[in-house]
A and B are shown apart, each in its own frame.
Chain A
Amino acid sequence: MPDPSIEWSDAEDGGKWLWDNYTRIRAVWADLASWMRGTRASGESEEEAQEPGILILGPGGVGKSTFAKLMTDAVHPLADMPVQYDESMDVESYTLEPPGDGGETEFVVLPGQQHRRADSWPELLRDVQDGRFRGAILFSAFGHHALGDVSYKDSALYAEHGRKKPAFLRAFLQKCRDDELRVLSDLATHLKLCSRPVWMLSVVTKQDLWWNVRSAVEDHYQSGPYSAIIDEVRNHRGAKSFRHEMVFASLIIRRLMTGRGELLKNNVAGYDQEYQLRSLWQLAVTIDALRQWEQGK
């Protein structure tokens, strides 16, 4: 793996700086992607080594598919990002590079809408328990979940909050944060019972939308109920068989809009692609730390 302690060059041309550094991040990600496809730990049979994959979960509209596409090079964060949020209807799988060796992908992204969870989650969460996954990546966004093809004015929360947009937005963000905790709690139950050493990565996305209140966000995840649940899992399993990391990132920079084109929140002024790229780098470094843990380093 290329050295993750990146030296950020001070190129005069900002565009070149971004491009050069993103190219370096890609090299690291390509390497991490091949690790994610499955490395064989000592003592494991070939069959076991092929099987365990990585589970990606989180509520709907927090960046799971975007992350999977970044990792598989299907999109470039600085160039071609999808504008429209297309809700995932079913479990999605992505093929990780390198291509050509014919291996089955084990990069499984679960649909996040609450009403879809009953269809696909119980089985895959049981798989977590049965050791089918080496790691789980849980996405959250400090409540900034994408609303799909629906107007906020048609939502139950809007009606419940006097049909006022600011009150709706406050309630929506809170409700989504509560849901993030519910998902963590579901996952934690199964991680506690998992039959193999397992790591978990919490990715808090959409940094570009909450950068102005970042210390509140960091507190929310690092000293509130979120971290209490993580501590429970750690205490239950012990540090040798459970490792957790957390990273705050912006997978892309864009305003929070509904699928009907209504603006809910602007991205924070001053949060630019340099911050974004640093966060993506941090993400890569964090994944590398999990790899090292998995490989017993």
Chain B
Amino acid sequence: MTTRTSTKKSVGNGFVEHATPLLREYTAKLEESVRNADELHDLYYLAELENGESERGSSASKRLQDERRRSIRERLARIQSRVKKLTPAINQLDRQVSQMIEHGELGSELERVELKLRLNELEDMLAAARKIKSSFPTAG
């Protein structure tokens, strides 16, 4: 939280003070989802490569590879479901902030700019999170 606004009289029912941490928190959550999904894609790709190499290996090592890929798929599905659950409330937050930027009584124009920048970050991350792919690349 910033201390910048805490000393002056709260304008717009303290909207900026309430909205800023929420915008940060959900941008970070989405960012984490996108990062984790990227890592899972990399892991899956590696597992595919290794699978190709162990094609002639023991059936035990093939089972292990299958198990790894299944686990990666499950983790990705969990990330997607998390993003899906977060999206409606994030959209609501987005629209409230947007309307305050457009019409709201705020402490200063700088606060309006700050909200706009944070909203842009949230929207960029939401767009990236929506693009998380459920299918994996296959090696070869």
Contact = CB atoms under 8 A, between A and B. Distances in A.
Interface of A: 60, 86-87, 89-90, 113-116, 119, 147-150, 154-159, 259
B20 interface: no
Q: Which 8 A-B pairs have the closest CB atoms?
A: A150-B99, A155-B103, A148-B99, A156-B105, A159-B105, A149-B95, A149-B96, A115-B101
B103 A156 contact: yes
Contact of A154 (B92, B100, B112): B100
6 contacts: A86-B95, A115-B112, A116-B98, A154-B105, A156-B104, A156-B106
Interface in B30-72: none
A154 B91 CA distance: 20
A180 to B, nearest CB: 15
B104 A87 contact: no
Contacts of A87: 95, 98-99
A114 B102 contact: yes
A148 B106 CA distance: 17
B13 interface: yes
B103 A157 contact: yes
A150 B104 contact: yes
A115 B15 CA distance: 18
Given A89-B123, A115-B116, A149-B92, A155 B98 contact: no
Interface of B: 12-13, 15, 91-92, 94-96, 98-106, 112, 116, 120, 123
Given A87-B95, A89-B123, A149-B92, A113 B12 contact: no
Contacts of A119: 120
B101 A147 contact: no
A60 B102 CA distance: 10
A156 B94 CA distance: 19
B12 A154 contact: yes
Given A89-B91, A89-B95, 17 more contacts: A87-B95, A113-B98, A114-B102, A115-B98, A115-B101, A119-B120, A148-B95, A148-B98, A148-B99, A149-B96, A150-B102, A150-B104, A154-B100, A155-B103, A155-B104, A155-B105, A157-B103
Given A87-B98, A113-B98, A149-B99, A154 B104 contact: yes
Nearest to B91: A89
B109 to A, nearest CB: 10
B105 A150 contact: no
Contacts of B105: 154-156, 158-159
B126 to A, nearest CB: 9
Contacts of A86: 95
A149 B15 CA distance: 13
A259 B92 CA distance: 11
